[in-house]
């Protein structure tokens, strides 16, 4: 999809006069950067998601019908679930902060308006 967007930008920008051509190219290039960033986030999320699903399936395999005390193995799996989610949130939060720190001051002004 990223290649398609970049091709669209290259092919369509020249349909406009110079000033609009530049606005078009800059705007869509920004969109392209954000799309690329989302792909990076998705890749990171997928790594944690796969681990979380594996852990959850292991936990489900230990569950029995009725009311039962949590076993040491289950407790480890519950703990691992929290660790995975915490790591994912921390990683994504750091990535978002890094991206946000690179945004120009003019971007933040538009949000306040």
The C-alpha R_g of the chain, in whole angstroms, comes to 22
**Measured between alpha carbons, how far is 32 from 5 in angstroms, rounded to an integer?**
7
pLDDT per residue as tens digits for the range 25-44: 777 777 777 787 788 888 88
CA–CA separation, 80 and 56 (whole Å): 9
Residue 33 has what pLDDT?
78
What is this structure's pTM? 0.56
Q: What is the mean pLDDT of the chain?
A: 81
Per-domain residue ranges of the chain: 2-112
> 2 pLDDT exceeds 90?
no
List Cα–Cα distances, 86 to 18, 19, 69, 79, 93, in angstroms.
Answer: 48, 47, 25, 11, 10
What is residue 43's predicted lDDT score, i.e. its pLDDT? 83
């Amino acid at each position: 999809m990223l290649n398609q967007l970049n091709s669209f930008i290259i092919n369509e920008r020249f349909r406009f006069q110079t000033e609009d051509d530049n606005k078009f190219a800059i705007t869509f290039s920004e969109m392209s950067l954000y799309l690329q960033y989302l792909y990076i986030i998705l890749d990171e999320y997928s790594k944690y998601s796969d681990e979380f699903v594996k852990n959850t399936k292991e936990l489900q395999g230990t569950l029995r019908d009725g009311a039962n005390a949590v076993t040491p193995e289950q407790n480890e799996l519950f703990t691992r679930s929290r660790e995975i989610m915490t790591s994912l949130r921390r990683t994504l939060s750091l990535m978002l902060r890094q991206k946000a720190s690179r945004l120009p001051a003019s971007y933040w002004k538009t949000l306040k308006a």
